[in-house]
């Protein structure tokens, strides 16, 4: 019998590098009829594990789910386990996940179809600072964990997007960009229906740092300083992204688990 994981346990791993790759194995009609999927999940056919599993990142742990966590996810997990993969079933499926308050994301949004075998490709301006690190973190952790991001000269973003079939973001006159007082990070959250309270809190910090409104959240000034410092000391955009991912993992973890925690070091007289 394949191992299981409770929604509550898995929810704590969302938004971290310890989260397994989540695979939605609902039958295709059930998947297409639903407006949402678990945040960060891919859809794959539960009867074709031998086709899609070998192209997943080597050594990754997998968590599968269906509607109720019964026979469909059981079949997928059994096939994966027999092939030597580290796999668990999400107890109760999507229904239990939603009941436990787990974050969900829109099944399909502009440029994204989680049922396709090809990861999404995104492109934006080079030399990222805040939004262009925060958005790839959000995409990787909540929208498409296999996504790739390209940084190119600002004047070539749209041309590169057209040639590669990529999704441009955080430049003028594209779908995923600033809208009014909100930044591209806000736009992604809205477009993908991410209602997670911790993400909403993080969005305020990102918005404050990215739009020079440091009064929006007390942490915005710190994020701005760290982001500018990282950009000033790292001249490779991709290395900067990988380092920045850790910063946003930590910020999201603080928003979710530690925002009410205080820290001091009381000094007592000898």
DSSP secondary structure string, 9-61? HHHTTTTSTTPPEEEE---HHHHHH-SEEETT-EE--TT-HHHHGGGSPTT--
Chain mean pLDDT for the chain: 95
Nearest to 138 by CA among 170, 173, 163: 170
Both 250 and 125 in one domain: the answer is yes
Model confidence at 269, in pLDDT bands (50, 70, 90)?
Answer: low
Domain that holds residue 240: 121-258
The answer to whether residue 168 is domain-embedded is yes
Q: Are 193 and 36 in contact (CB under 8 A)?
A: yes
Question: Rounded to whole angstroms, how far apart are CA atoms 12 and 24?
Answer: 19
Question: Rounded to whole angstroms, how far apart are CA atoms 95 and 225?
Answer: 42
Residues 174-205: tens digit of each pLDDT:
999 999 999 999 999 999 999 899 999 999 99
The answer to whether residue 57 is domain-embedded is yes
The answer to whether residue 99 is domain-embedded is yes
Taking each helix axis as running N to C, give the angle between helix 131-138 and helix 197-210, from 0 to 180 degrees, rounded to the nearest 10: 160
Tokens standing for 73?
């996810």
Both 128 and 88 in one domain: the answer is no
The answer to whether residue 151 is domain-embedded is yes
Q: Is the pLDDT of residue 34 over 70?
A: yes
pLDDT score at 204: 98
Q: Is the pLDDT of residue 109 over 90?
A: no
User: Where do we find the tokens 């030399």?
Assistant: 127
pLDDT score at 115: 85
Percent of the chain with pLDDT over 70: 99
Q: Is the pLDDT of residue 270 over 60?
A: no
Question: Rounded to whole angstroms, how far apart are CA atoms 119 and 160?
Answer: 17
Both 89 and 144 in one domain: the answer is no
Model confidence at 266, in pLDDT bands (50, 70, 90)?
Answer: confident
Both 148 and 197 in one domain: the answer is yes
């Amino acid at each position: 019998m394949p191992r299981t994981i409770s929604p509550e346990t898995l929810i704590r791993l969302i938004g971290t590098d310890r989260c397994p790759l989540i695979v939605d194995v609902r039958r295709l009609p059930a998947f297409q009829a639903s407006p949402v999927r678990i945040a960060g999940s891919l859809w794959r056919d539960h009867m074709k594990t031998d086709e899609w599993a070998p192209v997943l990142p080597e050594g990754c742990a997998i968590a599968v789910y269906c509607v109720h966590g019964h026979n469909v996810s059981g079949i997928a997990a059994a096939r994966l386990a027999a092939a030597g993969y580290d796999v668990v079933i999400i107890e109760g499926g999507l229904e239990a996940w939603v009941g436990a308050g787990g974050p969900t994301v829109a099944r399909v949004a502009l440029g994204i179809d989680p049922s396709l075998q090809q990861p999404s490709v995104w492109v934006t301006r080079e030399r990222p600072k805040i939004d262009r690190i925060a958005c790839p973190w959000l995409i990787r952790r909540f929208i498409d964990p296999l996504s790739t991001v390209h940084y190119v000269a600002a004047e070539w973003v749209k041309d590169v997007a057209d040639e590669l079939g990529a999704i441009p973001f955080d430049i003028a006159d594209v779908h995923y960009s600033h809208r009014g007082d909100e930044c591209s990070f806000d736009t992604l959250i809205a477009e993908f229906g991410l209602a997670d309270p911790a993400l909403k809190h993080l969005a305020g910090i990102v918005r404050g740092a990215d739009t020079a409104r440091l009064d929006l959240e007390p942490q915005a000034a710190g994020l701005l300083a760290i982001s500018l410092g990282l950009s000033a000391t790292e001249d490779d955009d991709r290395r900067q992204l990988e380092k920045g991912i850790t910063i946003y993992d930590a910020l999201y973890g603080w928003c979710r688990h530690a925002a009410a925690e205080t820290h001091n070091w009381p000094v007592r007289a000898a």
